[in-house]
Amino acid sequence: MDRILSRKITIDEFAKFDVDGDGRIERTEFALRKLMLMGIVEPADVARVEKEFDQMDADGSGEVTLKDLEAHLKAQEKEKEELLERKKRGAKKTRAKQVQNQYENMVEKI
């Protein structure tokens, strides 16, 4: 790890550190790339974190404001409620189908 921490980046590596491709390496890009090189952070984990951030960043500004977070949490709650409602409707349909099948079986026996 010390070897990676003390190693200076080269011009050839610049693009790997410049994650957003804006021609500059911000502090967070630099730290993140170093952590990835040390094996502390996996690229897949970074992708998951970035996806979560993008979902919270409602206006796409690259920043999450309190307003963005509130909107995100509200949308998540609405999705949960809709999913629960769909599950309830599905359970009701399943139960209705079971009752119908029982009825049909009883009629066949008569």
- Locate tokens 């949960």: which residue? 80
Domain extent at residue 69: 2-79
Residue 55 in any domain: the answer is: yes
What residues contact residue 53 under an 8 Å CB cut-off, 6+ apart? Answer: 64
Number of folded domains that form the chain? 1
Distance of CA 78 to the CA centre of its chain: 17
Would you state the pLDDT for residue 110? Answer: 66
pLDDT per residue of the chain (110 residues) written in tens, 0 to 9: 777 778 888 999 899 899 889 999 999 999 999 999 899 999 899 999 999 999 999 888 989 999 999 999 999 999 999 988 888 877 667 767 776 777 677 777 76
CA–CA separation, 17 and 106 (whole Å): 71
> Would 41 be classed as within a structural domain?
yes
The answer to whether the pTM exceeds 0.85 is no
pLDDT of residue 5: 77
Does residue 74 form part of some domain?
Answer: yes
- Is 33 within a domain? yes
Query: Could you tell me if residue 13 is inside a domain?
Result: yes
